[in-house]
Amino acid sequence: MPRSVNAVASRARRKKVLKATKGYFGRGKNVWTVAKNKYEKGLQYAYRDRKAKKREFRALWIQRINAGARQFGISYSQFMGMLKKADIELNRKVLADLAMNHPEAFKAVVEKVK
């Protein structure tokens, strides 16, 4: 009896991967073994970087809040401590947006906590 390999499913699987690797450099876009490895590595990077993205944005927000707070003579840590004491529950994302795009609103928040 001949061996059954289900070529239709194999071809579909390969086409899916090669479509996903479209635009990759060199043989990564059209040679099956290279493309498969690059595709899998890309998925690993995507999984890892979904977590890293959150860390990077939090760090960016902290830098922006710190820069905004220092214009009024206080450090980031002092400002965040005063926010907690004043029982103002604004998250870092909103505070960073205020510091960068709405300085008058950020100034009002700083004055409120001082």
What's the alpha-carbon Rg for the chain, to the nearest Å? Answer: 25
Q: Is the pTM of this model over 0.75?
A: yes
pLDDT in tens, 97-110: 999 999 999 999 99
* Spatial separation of the C-alpha atoms in residues 37 and 43, rounded to whole Å: 10
How many C-beta atoms lie closer than 10 Å to residue 79's C-beta? 21
3-state SS class at 79: helix
**Which residue intervals of the chain are DSSP H helices?**
7-20, 32-70, 76-85, 92-101, 103-113
Find all residues with CB under 8 Å of 75, minimum gap 6, and list them: 66, 69
Handedness of CA 63, 67, 69, 75 (dihedral sign): positive
pLDDT in tens, 1-43: 788 889 999 999 999 999 999 999 999 999 999 999 999 999 9
Handedness of CA 77, 79, 82, 84 (dihedral sign): negative
